Amino acid sequence: FDDGEPLESNRHRIGMNVLIRSLQQAWSQRNDFFTGGNMFVYYSSDQAMNRDFRGPDFFAVLDVDGTKERQGWVVWLEAGRYPDVIVELMSPSTARIDKGKKKDLYQQTFRTPDYFVFDPFEPNSLQGWHLDISLGYQPLVPNEQGWLWCETLGFWLGTWPGTIDREAAVWLRFYDTEGNLVLLPEEAERQKAQQAEQLVEAERQKAEAERQKAQQAEQLVEAERQKAQQAEQLVEAERQKAEAERQKAQQAEQLVEAERQKAEAERQRAERLAERLRDLGLDPDNL
């Protein structure tokens, strides 16, 4: 049941739902926890009759049946289990109670290990305490980002500027041990879609790279083929040049031989003529 105390603003309502829904998203594969907000936490039958109970803006209980439907958290029906983590979203009108009366109740009666307060309209208002068995609530020291460690959940609590449900603000969010924002379901879906798009794009780029690689290989093969063809053409040109030189030399030899034969024919003709002159009683050398 609703605790009967309306949330201070729409931003408070959104802030509560952000914590609930992001934790449910982070642990979507688990069913051993319960998380709720702005609902009754009944911790004593006598106090319940007197309507002396509190409805934390956000709380989580671990190691319980998370599949069970609950309209409120009744401690004596839950094996005496109190919330393990509580977050109160403060306002100027509730800050004194949240850091005073409620803090004392959560420390002394609930014995809630981790308690945080945050004003959605004051980005620097985050405070937290961890329960020491002997000393009670001890203030948590923020890290460099101003986040507080929630040992029970294993998450950081810190601020995140952004727009949720059309409202721009600085929201209280969970961060994992690596510093990554714990996403809401719709953010997880968007991230999943973006990752799918990135995967498709990566595959497209990979295919394009393979295509270009294959094209370059084809171009290389073609270049080698042309190079081999040019080498063949060069060899053929050299062969033809050598053949032309051989033919030229052969023609020169034939010309020399023709001249030799011509000279020999002239010599033989002159010799026959000289022989005839001698037959006529003439000396060819004294003509």
Query: What distance lies between CA 191 and its chain's CA centroid?
Result: 10
| The predicted structure's pLDDT at residue 38 | 86
- The hierarchical CATH code for the domain 10-182 is 3.90.1570.20
Identify whether the C-beta of residue 16 lies closer than 8 Å to the C-beta of residue 90. no
All structural domains of the chain with their residue ranges: 10-182
- pLDDT, position 4: 47
Q: What is the pLDDT of residue 281?
A: 85
Q: What's the pLDDT at 84?
A: 98
pLDDT at 48: 61
pLDDT (0 to 100) of residue 251: 94
Half-sphere exposure of 190 (CA within 13 A, CB side): 5
Mean pLDDT by 10 residues, the chain (287 residues): 59 96 97 93 72 81 95 92 97 94 95 98 97 96 98 98 96 98 96 95 96 96 95 95 94 93 92 89 82
Say what the pLDDT of residue 1 is: 39
Residue 183 has a pLDDT of 97
Q: pLDDT at position 278, please? A: 87
How would you classify residue 165: left for phi > 0, otherwise alpha for psi between -120 and 50, otherwise beta?
left
Contacts of residue 2, Cβ cutoff 8 Å, sequence gap at least 6 = 38, 39, 40, 55
